[in-house]
Amino acid sequence: MKDKDCPLIVLLASAETSPAVLYGLYDVLASVGSGYMEMITGVPGTELLDIRIVAASRKPFRCFGNIMVEPHASIDDIDHPDAVVVCDMYTPINQPPRGTYPREVEWLKKVYANNALLTSVCSGSAVLAETGLLNGLEVAGHWAYRHMYREFYPRLKWQEASVLNLSAEHRRIITTGGVTSWQDLAIYLIKRYCGAQHALESASLHLLSPHTDGQLPFASMTQSKQHDDALISDCQDWIVENYNCTNPVARMTARAGLQARTFSRRFRAATGYHPLDYVQELRVEIAKKLLSTETTNIDEISVSVGYEDPTSFRRLFKRKAGLTPAVYRKKFAGIAGMKNA
């Protein structure tokens, strides 16, 4: 049974939404006030939130994975929600959703003007970005979209490490990182509308834990070759086989037969990285794989990826991965080494 004055939280979905996000959010938020009490007393409590799935149309559709979605309402039916969650809406990592969701974008602007809290999960922040409401604000989203946000939404302050970005909370806008950041957002919404105790109970009931290390430990380098610069593609291929060589940027520049400034400009235009950043990211990616799959000494890994000074390597690794090599190994080696029970 619901409280008659429940805050209304709307989950905005589309055919590009992943069911894990949509139904995960729905399951957790809809159980606030009732689920935990049933688990410890055998008697459900009162539901404290009114959770509704909405889409451009109320007509049923299939979302990502061919999973059926039956919206409770269309966006035309709801004008004054307390909060909106823009669920993830997949788009290729180099293509913004320009013109893909015109009705949803206009609706988001309308409900924001009506005092709604706007939030997003993963690629949902790109849909929010289309409203213009994120201009000038710090924004989180899935790490794989780093170059797309920087190229197509230059007025945003992209925060690659962020999982739950509350920097614009005072503006009633909250964005989150990769797909499972919906869990961090759910805990936040429960605490905001129902209090800290219900947030703790929900976390206990659903085994939810905040991503306190941020996104960087999970991020991987994007090595897209979706460009027409054959010289740069050749250098990308070459550095994959020669990442541990000395003076890698100078060698790539010579290989391309270009002046240093020209090479740097073309490399960044094609890949989104400055050449040195590209090499560093590649080396750290290889080090991550070695740390999570092998027992090789960290100093030896440092040398194997091109860094004779282990201290410099550790410093670079922490800056890029958000964790020291030792902590990274502890966090991920168990996953790589998991065996069937």
Same domain flag for 74 and 117: yes
Kindly indicate the confidence band of residue 336, based on its pLDDT and cuts at 50, 70 and 90: low
Is residue 201 one of the residues assigned to a domain? Answer: yes
Q: Give CA–CA dist 242/59, Å, rounded.
A: 54
Q: How sure is the predictor about 94, in pLDDT bands with cuts at 50, 70 and 90?
A: confident
The CATH number for 157's domain is: 3.40.50.880
Residue 34 pLDDT > 60, yes or no?
yes
Q: Give the pLDDT confidence of 102-131 residue by residue, as tens digits.
A: 999 999 999 999 999 999 999 999 999 999
Last residue of a domain, one of 174, 193, 217: 217
* Residues 256, 181 within the same domain: no
Taking 80 as the threshold, does the pLDDT of residue 338 lie above it? Answer: no
Distance CA 38, CA 45 (A): 7
SS3 69: strand
Q: Are residues 180 and 274 in the same domain?
A: no
Average pLDDT over residues 204-214: 90
Please state the rounded mean pLDDT for residues 186-211: 94
Q: Is residue 224 situated within a structural domain?
A: no
Are both 87 and 26 inside the same structural domain?
yes
Q: Helical H runs in 7-135?
A: 19-30, 35-41, 102-113, 124-129
Paired tokens of 252: 């790539």
**Residue in 51, 42, 45, 24 with CA at minimum distance from that of residue 33:** 45
340: confidence class by pLDDT, cuts 50, 70, 90: very low
**Cα 220 from Cα 254, distance rounded (Å):** 28
Contact criterion met (CB below 8 Å) for 4 and 48: no
Based on the fold, state whether residues 59 and 200 are members of the same structural domain: yes
Beta carbons within 8 Å of 73's beta carbon, 6+ residues apart: 52, 54, 58
Residue 225 lies in a domain: no
Same domain, 182 and 299: no
Domain annotation covers residue 325: yes
Give 23's contacts (C-beta < 8 A, 6+ positions apart). Answer: none
Q: Are residues 264 and 302 in the same domain?
A: yes
CA distances from 73 to 56, 57, 70, 81, 240 (A): 9, 7, 9, 12, 50
Q: How confident is the model at residue 334 (pLDDT cuts 50, 70, 90)?
A: confident
pLDDT at 297 over 60: yes
Q: Which amino acid is at 85?
A: V
| Tens of pLDDT, residues 56-74 | 999 999 999 999 999 999 9
pLDDT tens for 70-92 read: 999 999 999 999 999 999 999 99
- Give the model confidence (pLDDT) of 245-276 as tens digits: 999 999 999 999 999 999 999 999 888 889 99
Comparing C-alpha atoms, which of 119, 120, 176, 167 is closest to residue 143?
176
pLDDT score at 260? 94
79 and 13, same structural domain? yes
pLDDT tens, residue by residue, 123-169: 999 999 999 999 999 999 999 998 899 889 999 999 988 999 999 99
Q: Does residue 249 lie in a domain region?
A: yes
For the cut 60, the answer to whether the pLDDT of residue 280 exceeds it is: yes
Mean of pLDDT values over 175-203: 95
Give the number of domains in the chain: 2
In a domain, 115, yes or no: yes
Residue 75 lies inside a defined structural domain of this protein: yes
Query: Residue 122 belongs to what domain range?
Result: 8-217
Q: What is the mean pLDDT of residues 278-307?
A: 93
Q: Are residues 206 and 245 in the same domain?
A: no
> Of 42, 38, 181, 65, nearest to 30 (Cα)?
38
Query: Which residue from 211, 218, 217, 215 is spatially nearest to 327, judged by alpha carbons?
Result: 217
Task: Look up residue 9 and give its two tokens.
Answer: 């939280």
> Is residue 154 assigned to a domain?
yes
pLDDT of residue 341: 38
Q: Where among 169, 188, 217 does a domain terminate?
A: 217
Residue 114 sits in the same domain as residue 253: no
Together in a domain, 133 and 169: yes
CATH number at residue 247: 1.10.10.60
**Residue 66: CB partners within 8 Å, gap ≥ 6?**
none
Mean pLDDT of all residues in the chain? 92
pLDDT digits (tens, 9 = 90+) for 4-16: 689 999 999 999 9
Task: From 162, 187, 217, give the residue that closes a domain.
Answer: 217
Q: Which residue has the tokens 């590209």?
A: 278
Do both 261 and 138 map to the same domain?
no
